[in-house]
Amino acid sequence: MLARFTCGLFWNSNKNNMAKALVIVESPAKAKTINKYLGKNFIVKASLGHIKDLPKRDLAVDVDNGFRPDYVVIEGKKKLIQELKDAAKKVDSIYLAADPDREGEAICWHLQEELRSKKATLEDPGPKFYRVMFNEITKKSIEKAFEKPLDVNINLVDAQQARRVLDRLVGYKISPLLWDKVRRGLSAGRVQTVAVRVIVDREREIRAFIKEEYWTLDANLAAKKTPHFDARLFRRNDESVTIPNQAASDALVADLEGTKFIVHSVGTKEKKRNPVAPFITSTLQQDSSRKLRFSVKRTMMLAQQLYEGVEVGKEGSVGLITYMRTDSTRVSDDAVAEVRSFVETKFGPSYLPASPNIWKSKKGAQDAHEAIRPPPPCGLRKKWRRSSRKTR
């Protein structure tokens, strides 16, 4: 799992040198990129990880009272929280801009809990909290998010909390069994437990499988012109052929001895190959493993860096892909329009399809975020290559 960060940014007014807005994101790299788009009057504060979590040495889930979790401030984060509280006292608004997923929503919820003023009154209610989300870290996307801020989505918070509680309940009960039966130090959770069950079920099916002998019959054929080719026997007298043993195979071979083989028909057809769908998280990991031999951990670490921002020459820190945790092949209308405009301008109208390709997401996909894609402008790729070559 990738390490998460928490960063605070607050703006200084030219009038009274007092901060007016505090923006909290998850990583220093993302903070640096967003800082460039929001303006120069931002101060950045950063730390690693969630600010609150379940304690490591205790179940911390009240099973008898609705599975209520008991969160504590993570060790080493008290100083950070105090710094953010001090910053929150000087602002009118707090924008929570963690990643647009369940984990990010939980981070926002805990930040809101900790930073909300305990001494709020009707006359002085304290700063207002807003939730901002963006699928790509570009100027246009960030400005659009801040134009229409939202509230923290409590349903997503509950979803993350349910996952965390389930991890804790399963892990605390299964892990000791692994220590006793396999090796101490191993951990189990909701994913590993189900995966083990699937493996066990498949192994039982394999052991219960009854082997059946079967044979195939191939003939190497040659005509007056090359090439030679192999033909396999599938049907005899328009009926399917099953060869259960060597005796049946030998009998068929004897029947075919001296037979004259005739090519009944030769067909040719055009095959249309459609472009593959845009990357989702799973296909990104699969292609990375197949083509680059990268582990899932390495793939997601690099994807996180590309999403948060990479130094691109004079452009500075720029996000080079959209959010990398997604199960949707959908591409935003704005991105499609920009790419089509680029193709038409760069290559001409003859290279522009009449309509863009649309892929259907798998059944059950949440479709919360669009597919993984590079954000415009398209020319950033060459600049990034040149910049990365200089810094190696």
- Residues forming the active site: 323
The type of residue at 263 is: V
Peptide bond into 227 cis (omega under 30): yes
137 Cα distance to chain centroid: 16
* DSSP 8-class letter at 315: G
- Contact, 260 vs 305, CB < 8 A? no
Strands 218-221 and 229-232: antiparallel
| Among 69, 50, 58, CA closest to 166 | 69
CA distance from start to end of the chain:
26
Element (H, E) at 292: helix 281-292
Q: Which residue's structure tokens are 């911390």?
A: 60
Between CA 207 and CA 226 the distance in angstroms is: 47
Element (H, E) at 128: strand 128-131
Between CA 135 and CA 30 the distance in angstroms is: 12
Q: Which residue's structure tokens are 């399917």?
A: 240
CA atoms within 13 A on the CB side of 358: 5
Between CA 195 and CA 172 the distance in angstroms is: 17
Question: 348 vs 15, 158, 274, CA distance in Å?
Answer: 51, 50, 21
3-state class (DSSP) for residue 255: helix
* DSSP 8-class letter at 145: H
